[in-house]
Structure 1
């Protein structure tokens, strides 16, 4: 399955986990890696280019660190610009129907923090619900997210293993 991984990290050069994931994914022949902040540091998005990338792939992955309980700002801008009426939704907006959407999220906090009674008293499933609603609205199949918790305390080996698990997860049937 042709997979497009859209990496959304505003400080990728200082990242450990997301940079490792991205570099590992680039080694896969059936995975296209697209660094959104590298491509559009000024938030001026080439809509036609982005739409063509989406058309060329069956599985779309948004890879990002959790920032203030959401994704980095450029992803919202990308959604607003690229997922247009008549293309992604509305009359004639069927271009993404049947494609898959998956999130690959890194989180500094522990998994136990993201549950009822935890530090944040909310689950990741609840936090990412807007992505699920968007996927449903534009006719995509929303897949369970790949999450890596506790990224601030991972060893180099843990980060490497996380990247391998991500590759396996993206290649699996869901």
Structure 2
């Protein structure tokens, strides 16, 4: 039986790269994801070159998935601009978090990212001054606020200089991991999604607008 022929839960992969032609790694990861028929690949820069995001369509896609993957190069210690806009517009109060915002509760969020700097550069003695884990809290808290479980990220450092053999091995591991989800041994020991209750008083204007409708 083919390794990837088994039924699998819905997976949505949100890919963001401002220039795929210049990508050494993310483009190949994207191609690997596309070999898995149950993975819905959403290339944000191809779909929304004008940054005009179809919020209902994006909400429908992620609401139907069990796993949401964020695939992108790290830019200024964060995600590309269009992916940040996607979070701002799609993960809305009352839908993804806050009162009645339960659309994503119980799902998993997986960050798959590349950095230009080497792993050694993400060190107190390196030019990035911090271990890479120091830049993960915004991702972790985004997941927590939405009631999602933040899975251990998959990272490749030094994407500009790693060898073709290292890239091929990384892509193969990524595709195998994506294909075997949710049968990852480490998931059995991971705690359930945290609860982050947002009082209505923290978003009074939004709450009042919803009540008026």
SS in 2 for 1:136: helix
Per-residue CA distance 1:69-95 (angstroms, 9 max, x = gap): 111011111011000111101111000
SS in 2 for 1:153: coil
Partner of residue 12, structure 2: 4
* Residue 48 (structure 2) pairs with residue 43 (structure 1): no
Q: CA RMSD in A?
A: 1.2
Q: Is the 8 A contact 1:146 1:169 kept in 2?
A: no
SS in 2 for 1:13: helix
Name the TM-score, length of structure 1 as normaliser.
Answer: 0.95
Inter-partner Cα distance in structure 2 for 1:115 and 1:141: 27
Partner of residue 151, structure 1: 159
- Aligned pair partner of 1:56 in 32, 49, 64: 64
SS in 2 for 1:151: coil
Inter-partner Cα distance in structure 2 for 1:71 and 1:150: 16
Structure 1: any 5+ residue segments left out of the alignment? none
CA shift, 1:119, in A, is 2.1
Partner of residue 84, structure 2: 76
Partner of residue 139, structure 1: 147
- Aligned pair partner of 2:116 in 99, 108, 132: 108
